[in-house]
A and B are shown apart, each in its own frame.
Chain A
Amino acid sequence: MTQTTAGRPTSEPSQRKQRAQIKARTLRTDRWWLAPAITFAALASFLVYGLWAIFDKSYFVEPYIAPFSSPCLATSCPEGARFLGLAPFGDWWTLPPGILILGLPAGFRMTCYYYRKGYYRAFWLSPPACAVAEPHKKYTGETRLPLIIQNIHRYFFYGAILIAAVLTWDAVLALRDAHGNWGHFGLGTAILWINVVLIWSYTLSCHSCRHITAGRLNHFSKHPVRYKMWTFVSKLNSRHMLLAWLSMYSVMLADLYVRLVAKGIINFPFA
């Protein structure tokens, strides 16, 4: 911007310290409240579903396991549902086994740079929308506890890679039928595979992933392979918001589908 040097303002300096005194919280005339309202409803519905699903016991039916309960790591898991046949948590764990692994995907999404935008706007109104005043008197952002913890996002990214790998394995096992014979491809198999592709796309489009591949470097030309990876991740990253929503709903729908099959509500031949 061109800085004007000719002629200082004629007002007294004390007067010039004042912003325009406009009482209205915003002068926006568009429906600025719509986006945060939709985000609020969408995230809240996901939380409500997740709460129900984690305590629902119908999470396994050969050859499908519901994503919210995978990997199943306790003795209470049905034998076919146990990850690689293992139950490392033994029989002392009596709560729903999904709780054991809930923290990784939940933490990944809670600290995700896109979701932060979404819930800071929709739930904390900080700010509810651009150029709309927030209701809080003080603001310290992510400079101190508890929000400074958001900086551990990359560790949740590592955890999310593990979860995505497990879900991929589950989708591979969904290519077997209820008797363990390969070659099965039911609607559930297709749903689990679509979900896995979206989960990987969202996970790899993460800003921390972008940083780890090559974002932290200053000489891309010295690291051509990492630069190519960064370029690929950057392309995905530009659709991070879209992938966040698609993968959130795909995992929810895949989870619901498996539970409905397990409950016998969906029982057509190619389920």
Chain B
Amino acid sequence: MSYKANFRIWRGEGGEGKLEDFVVEVNEGEVVLDVIHRLQATQTPDLAVRWNCKAGKCGSCSMEINGRPKLGCMTRMSTFTEDETITVTPMRAFPVIKDLVTDVSFNYQKAREIPSFTPPDNVQPGEYRMQQIDVERSQEFRKCIECFMCNNVCHVIRDHEENKAAFAGPRFLMRIAELDMHPYDVADRKDSAQEEHGLGYCNIPKCCTEVCPEHIKITDNALIPMKERVVDRKYDPLVWLGNKIFKRSSSTGSKTG
């Protein structure tokens, strides 16, 4: 069954722009991205939108639909009423290139700042032996499709652009947690998580978890465990004393357990 839907879409370049109104046909079973494509085909051929897989797996069509970060390809039109005006804007935390397309290079920059997987010197490729229970925590984080909606919604940088230099955002703090939990990673990541990547900026509002299209429990399974690991290193005198007495992991050496 078709109907005419009211869309309000942000259009502009380099930050300057405005919300423009459209009336567009919607058919049963369609998602917001389908409707935007129909707009391109019928009314606004120069409307810019980034997309790729249309299956919620490439993370390209991140946008804000009625003010909430969503994937355009995974937001069903049936979740709206027919008389509702649907507002679509680009992700707010990143600079706009054109219309709904944002420049997400901030995220690639942050990704490059994290040292890659660092195995021990005495283990050669092919010699890694890990049990499933040792790696399944990290595997949850590997589901990330890098839509960057978690970084977009995080108020630390969304509302305070000046924090971008000091804060890697939930996506990359999760990457640090993934590596820190890895049984064969020996790089020290606790101090750098706090001092260089801004873990302390996170005040646990859980918005990253709320918007994650892969339903990764970013806060509970990555950020809070990483905060606790930082506490072990920096703020817990008993753990410090235990490490001294029992000669467990040094501040720069291999990791516990």
Contact = CB atoms under 8 A, between A and B. Distances in A.
A217 B256 contact: yes
Interface string B202-245: 11111100110000000010001101111110111000000000
A239 to B, nearest CB: 11
Interface residues of B, number: 77
Contacts, number: 194
A interface: dominant SS = loop
Nearest to B180: A218
B204 A3 contact: no
Interface stretch (B23-31, B34-42, B56-64, B117-125): B56-64
B112 interface: no
Contact of B228 (A21, A28, A216): A216
Contact of B156 (A29, A141, A219): A141
Interface string B46-76: 0000101000001110101011110000000
Interface in A168-215: 207-208, 210-211, 214-215
A219 B185 CA distance: 11
Contacts of B207: 127, 130-131
B128 to A, nearest CB: 13
A154 interface: yes
B68 A120 contact: no
**Residue of A148, A208, A221 with most chain B CB atoms under a 10 A cut-off:** A221
Contacts of A29: 66-67, 84, 87
A116 B148 CA distance: 24
B165 interface: no
B203 A216 contact: no
Contact of B146 (A1, A15, A217): A1
Interface string A1-37: 1111000010110111111111000111110000000
A127 B64 contact: no
Nearest to B87: A27
Contact of B201 (A12, A136, A140, A221): A140
Nearest to B61: A1
**Residue of A4, A27, A214, A221 with most chain B CB atoms under a 10 A cut-off:** A27
B94 to A, nearest CB: 7
Contacts of A130: 68-69, 153, 205, 207, 210-211
